[in-house]
Structure 1
Amino acid sequence: MQIAVASLSALAHEGRLSAFRLLVEAGPDGLAAGEIARRLDSLPNTLSANLNVLAQAGLIASRREGRSIIYTAQYAQMGALLAFLVRDCCRGNAQICAPIADLAALCCAPGAARC
């Protein structure tokens, strides 16, 4: 439960949510901090603070490549958060869970259109 709260808290900010969405879309190769700042039109210190909060929540990771810091979404943590929400909120109720599972399968399938 504490992990879900930390993750949801980290995502409950427009700048952090935008950065996380961008990294999810970027895939496992991730993006350099400068590229994230450029795409989001974000000031470096603001972006750094947002990425730090996401990293502390376990939603993103970073690695150094030369002079760049590359950030990637942590898909396992994102999946664990989604699973927690479905498990905890649906409590096995098929009327609630089935449409959510169908939506996730539709949105997460390779080549799927964004929801």
Structure 2
Amino acid sequence: MIHLIAADLRPVICEARKQQCRIVLVKDHGVYMLAERGEIDNGRRSIIAWAVECNPDTVPFDDWWERARAEFGGDDFVEYLDCNDAVFDLVIVAGFDLQIEADTGYVYLNAVAPQS
């Protein structure tokens, strides 16, 4: 299981709702979420929420790569999510973090109280 912190994820949700587009969960060079459409800065989306355990800017390569592979398998992927899903309301309104798990056919999103 990996998680994203509410403070990082809120701007992504707000941007997706403003742009009326989906939220994209990506596993490639790390694991992160971003709005399907949004601002681009230096050729890269400017608002990104990284999974705490799979952020290449803060976690050593071997650690985040192995964690991403263990959680989601070896292949890169993109999963499109409805920005109006109730789980995202809990992130915005209640400040809940988001836990993500996956198996061979499904991605599971759970809002959880922030860890202290």
TM > 0.5: no
Q: Which has the larger radius of gyration?
A: 1
By relative contact order (CA 8 Å, sep 6+), the higher-ranking structure is 2
TM-score normalised by L of structure 2: 0.28
The structure where helix makes up a greater share of residues is 1
TM-score normalised by L of structure 1: 0.28
